[in-house]
Amino acid sequence: MKAMKTAAAAIALMMASGAVQALEWNVSVWGKRRAFTEHVEKLAELVSAKTKGEFTLNISYGGLSKNKENLDGISIGAFEMAQFCAGYHADKNPSITVLELPFLGVDSLAKEVEVSRAVYAHPATVADLARWNATLLMPSPMPQYNVVGTGDAPSSLADFEGLTVRATGGIGQAFKYIGAVPTSMSATEVRQAMDSGVVKTVAFAPHAHMSYGTVESATWWTKNLNPGTVNCPVVVNTDALEGLSDAHRDALMGSVDEAVDYYVANYEGATMDKWWPLLDGKKISQVSFSDDELSAFREAAAGPAAAAWIEENNARGLPAQELYDLVKGLLAK
C-alpha cells in the first residue's frame, strides 16, 4: 500500500509539473542520407523542436529492414514509420501504382506532390494501405526518370532494342514498347549489376544516379526521354499514429507540409545544381531524342499501359478508372 501511494504521488507530481514521458519512433529508410530522404530528416528536426525533445524520430538507413520489406515491417509494428517505393511490390499497394504509369504528363515536383496527395486521400487508397496497418503520411516527389548507360550512346530509340535496363513499375513497362528488356531490382543492387554487365542501362532520377554511383561508369545520359517516375511514400503504422497524444500528433502532422516544401526546394536547388556540373566533369554525353520519336514513344506506351493497368486493377476490385481519371484530371488543369 505504501509503494502504491508513493507511485501515485510520483505520477501526480509529474502531471502537475507538465512533464511528459519521452517518446521515440523508429523510422526505416535505406541507402544513405540524400535528397530522397531530406523530408524525413526535416520532419524529425521539426517534431523534436516542437516537442522540446519529448518526441523524436530515430532514422535508420537500412538497419531495421530491407527496403522491399518496409511495408511488411510497418504492418507488424516492427517500426513506426518507413519509406518504400510502390513499384517494389505493386501487388501490395496497387492503388498508388497509378502514379507510376508512363507519360502521365507530370512536369514539376509541385505537381507530383499535388497528384500524389490526391491519390493518397482517395478512399480506395486509404483502404488499400489499411490492409498493412499503414497510413500514408507524405510523398517523396521525384522528377522524371532518365537513363544512364555504358558503351555506345543510342542515336535513336531503336537502339534500345534488346538493351537491358533497370527500370521498375510503369517505366519498365514503357521500355518494353521500344524493345528494351526491363529488369526490376532494388536501388542498392544497381551499381553492382551495372558494373558486372547484368544491366547496361539504369533509369533513375538524378539524385539516385549520384547516390548509387551509376555515373561512375556511365558514358551517356538521356536528357529528354522523361518516361515517368516512381512513387515512394512515407507511411506510419496506424496504431502508433492513433496512440499518439494530441500534442505529439499535432507536432507530427503539422510538420508534414513544411518538410515536403523543404524537400522540393532542396531538390530543385542544391541537388540539381550538382547534377549538371557532374555530367560535364565526367564527360558523360547528353543524348536528346527528336520530338517525333518521343511522340511515337508516348503513343506506343502511354495508352496501352494505362488500359492494362485499369483492366488489371478493376479485376482487383479497385476503382481503377476513377483513380486514373483523378490523376489525369488534375494534370489537365
299: domain CATH number?
3.40.190.170
Return the pLDDT at 14. 43
Q: Is the pLDDT of residue 8 over 70?
A: no
How many structural domains does the chain have? Answer: 2
Closest CA to 267 of 86, 66, 56, 42: 42
Same domain, yes or no: 47 and 128: yes
> Are β-strands 146-149 and 220-222 bridged in parallel, bridged antiparallel, or unpaired?
antiparallel
pLDDT in tens, 290-300: 999 999 999 99
On average, the pLDDT of the chain sits at: 92
Query: Quick one: average pLDDT of 220-231?
Result: 94
Same domain, yes or no: 180 and 310: yes
Q: Determine, yes or no, domain membership for 213.
A: yes
Torsion sign (Cα): 221, 165, 272, 327:
positive
pLDDT in tens, 78-137: 999 999 999 889 999 999 999 999 999 999 999 999 999 999 999 999 999 999 999 999
Q: Three cell numbers at 65?
A: 529492414
Q: Determine, yes or no, domain membership for 136.
A: yes
Q: Three cell numbers at 12?
A: 501526480
Q: Determine, yes or no, domain membership for 13.
A: no
Q: Three cell numbers at 111?
A: 505537381
| Other C-beta atoms lying within 10 Å of the C-beta of residue 24 | 11
Q: Determine, yes or no, domain membership for 206.
A: yes
Range of the domain at 118: 22-140+230-271
Return the pLDDT at 23. 97
Same domain, yes or no: 49 and 120: yes
Q: Is the pLDDT of residue 179 over 80?
A: yes
More confident residue, 21 or 52: 52
- Please name the residue that has the C-alpha cell 510538420: 255
Same domain, yes or no: 254 and 280: no
